Amino acid sequence: MLASTSKIRRNILDNAGIKFTAIDPELDETKAKNSMAEFSAQEIAMQLAKLKSSKISNQYSKALVIGADQVLGFKNQIFNKPASRAEAENQLLKLRNATHILYSALSCAIAGVEVWSHCSEARLTMRNFTPEFLSSYLDSGSKGYLSSVGGYKLEETGIQLFDKIEGDYFAILGLPILPLLDFLRRQEFILS
């Protein structure tokens, strides 16, 4: 089972040929993050993934449940999905001409107990884009920037914001599939 409603995470698993059922973990992430104020961005990503997998795993004790979360860390700040165009613009201006880190965490649980976890890290450097480009990007119509931490979707026009990307593409999308596949093979959930 996948403890997520993310279309991108579902597509990654589908495309990898993994049979699964997706279920909404119904986790109040804002409340959970507020309780972790002293945690690093990486620790928050790991804890949120674990909360999601454990919660669903307690309900479906015989299933392997995959929880996933992604947190953007930048200069001791944690970025969330922007709630508005103005918030997206503010985030992108902060990230402009600088490098930030995306932490993409996975937690697998059975019967409410975490049996495996992993966190991938990707470093992304935004270029020094012009105000005109930023307005054009935000006016583009897709509004994908509202559904992604940092205000961009790399797999869409958000790629034009960047100069340099270091890290696993799938981790940047929010599901580091290669480490997950390795775990599933070793545990004989899928063929090796």
Range of the domain at 110: 2-186
**pLDDT tens digits, 147-175:** 889 899 888 889 999 999 999 999 999 99
Give the residue numbers marked as catalytic: 69
> Taking residues 138-148, what's their average pLDDT?
84
Q: Which residues of 131-167 are buried (b: 16+ CB within 10 A; e: fewer)?
A: eeebeebbeeeeebbeebbbbbbbeebbeebeeeeeb
How do strand 77-79 and strand 2-3 relate by DSSP bridges? unpaired
Report strand pairing: 162-166 vs 64-74. unpaired
Q: Rounded CA gap, 14 and 166, in Å?
A: 25
pLDDT of residue 142: 73
Tell me whether residue 191 is in a domain.
no
Q: Are 117 and 69 in contact (CB under 8 A)?
A: no
Write out pLDDT tens, residues 10-47: 999 999 999 999 999 999 988 999 899 899 999 999 99
* pTM for this entry: 0.94
| Overall number of domains in the chain | 1
CATH code, domain carrying 156: 3.90.950.10
Q: Is residue 143 part of a domain?
A: yes
pLDDT at res. 151:
92
What backbone phi and psi angles, to 5 degrees, belong to 111? 55, 40
DSSP 63: S
What pLDDT score does 126 carry? 98
192 lies in some domain: no
Does residue 144 have a pLDDT over 90?
no
pLDDT greater than 80 at residue 141: no
Domain membership of residue 46 (yes or no) is yes
Using alpha carbons only, what angle is made at residue 28 by residues 95 and 51, rounded to the nearest 5 degrees? 95
Q: How far apart are CA 84 and CA 145, in angstroms?
A: 9
What pLDDT is recorded for position 114?
98
pLDDT tens for each residue of 86-127:
999 999 999 999 999 999 999 999 999 999 999 999 999 999
User: Would you give the end-to-end CA distance of the chain in angstroms?
Assistant: 20
pLDDT score for 140: 83
Residue 83's pLDDT band (boundaries 50, 70, 90)? very high
Give domain status of residue 141, yes or no: yes
